[in-house]
Amino acid sequence: MPRLAYLGPRATFTEQALRSLPESSGAELIPCAGSPAVLAAVRDGSVDAGCVPIENTVEGAVPAVLDGLVADPPLVIVREALVAVRFAVLVRPGTRAAHIRTIASHTHAIAQTRGWIAAHIPDAEVLLSTSTAEAAAQVARGEFDAAIAAPLAADQHGLEVLVDDVADNPGAVTRFALLAPPGPPPAPTGQDRTTLAATTQNRPGALLGLLTELAVRGIDLTRIESRPIKDRHAEYWFHLDCSGHVAEPAMGEALAALRRRCDRVRFLGSYPRAGNGPGPQQTCGSDAPAVPVGGAGAAEFAAAQEWLAGLRAGSAT
């Protein structure tokens, strides 16, 4: 039976995301206390894969996950899931708003509900927890008066929903990544995402050169973030999401060019983009397929490679 870790405890949005993936069918789901613990469990082989949040449409990327992705041993993303986030204020039975002196949640949940908290319970002390579900568990144990969490956590921990739908930005979506040790990526679907991280020398035009390798091949860059390299002053990892798959000619050429140009390149996976099936679409970043520049599709890349092979063989045309 496959073992899959996730940011726990039970009833987190991450568990909801993991259960939406086909890999979870028949698998043992293992909650972990924090995203770094999920990554560590995958790296030490105690689980086969792990699910963590990677970005949110309101708060942006999850720094601990981005930093963990460039650590060793390497990990790759093999699947992603999108979850529409719905927050509620959970309390012990009988608690009213006037009784709330402390309210806790995960840092991203607090960021998405800070305005509501300030407007409705301005005197409450806002505290951080390792996850929304852990905040609910802490309320059940009497450590806090209220938690911002998924309504599902109320049933899990014997709490009441005091107020539902408290997000400052309704319709927020969080993207989750399923991480595994390196191996052959999932087959291309035509609606794929490639994630990578790269470092460059600190000189004028270095980042522009990196981006140009993608642009000239018609690769759509859907996300770029910088994170400091922990043991190097004023040097950064650039984390990028691109439309396309490593098996496709344009993406393959771009990755090879980045390998030549950059100090380091970490391939973090090519995998199907979430949100492309039937029904309402919710996205983090563009889900549009890459539009080749100058008609440089797969056939054109193949023809160019054949032409180059001819030149190397002595052809003059």
> CA 88 to CA 231: how far, in whole Å?
40
Most distant CA pair in the chain: distance in Å? 85
> CA 240 to CA 222: how far, in whole Å?
8
Residue 169, in any domain of the structure: no
User: Are 204 and 312 contained in the same domain?
Assistant: yes
Question: What does the pLDDT read at residue 291?
Answer: 46
8 Å CB contact between 80 and 20: no
User: Are 178 and 79 contained in the same domain?
Assistant: yes
User: Are 98 and 219 contained in the same domain?
Assistant: no
- Name which residue leads in pLDDT, 284 or 194: 194
Q: pLDDT of 103-135, one tens digit each?
A: 999 988 998 999 999 999 999 999 999 899 999
Question: Which residues, other chains included, contact 147 with Cβ-Cβ below 8 Å and sequence gap of 6+?
Answer: 89, 90, 91, 103, 104, 105, 129, 132, 135, 136, 138, 139, 153, 159
Residue 225, in any domain of the structure: yes
pLDDT band at 167 (very low <50, low <70, confident <90, very high): confident
Question: What does the pLDDT read at residue 77?
Answer: 97
Please state, in angstroms and as integers, the Cα–Cα distance from residue 248 to each residue in 9, 191, 252, 272, 304, following that order.
39, 12, 6, 13, 14
Question: What does the pLDDT read at residue 231?
Answer: 77
User: Are 197 and 317 contained in the same domain?
Assistant: yes
CATH at 92: 3.40.190.10
Give 283-310 as a DSSP string.
-SS--SPP--GGG--HHHHHHHHHHHHH
Question: What does the pLDDT read at residue 205?
Answer: 85
Provide the domain count of the chain.
3
User: Are 314 and 288 contained in the same domain?
Assistant: yes
- Residue corresponding to tokens 């698998």: 27
User: Are 240 and 109 contained in the same domain?
Assistant: no
User: Are 212 and 298 contained in the same domain?
Assistant: yes
Question: What does the pLDDT read at residue 294?
Answer: 46
Q: pLDDT of 283-303, one tens digit each?
A: 454 444 444 444 456 677 777
User: Are 154 and 136 contained in the same domain?
Assistant: yes
Q: pLDDT of 28-41, one tens digit each?
A: 999 999 899 999 99
8 Å CB contact between 65 and 53: yes
CATH at 277: 3.30.70.260
Residue 72, in any domain of the structure: yes
pLDDT at 281 over 70: no
pLDDT band at 72 (very low <50, low <70, confident <90, very high): very high
User: Are 50 and 158 contained in the same domain?
Assistant: no
Domain that holds residue 278: 190-317
Question: What does the pLDDT read at residue 11?
Answer: 86
User: Are 7 and 76 contained in the same domain?
Assistant: yes
Residue 233, in any domain of the structure: yes
What count of other Cβ atoms lies within 10 Å of the Cβ of residue 317? 5
Question: What does the pLDDT read at residue 311?
Answer: 60
Q: Which helix (H) or strand (E) holds 221?
A: strand 221-228
User: Are 195 and 270 contained in the same domain?
Assistant: yes
User: Are 131 and 196 contained in the same domain?
Assistant: no
pLDDT band at 234 (very low <50, low <70, confident <90, very high): confident
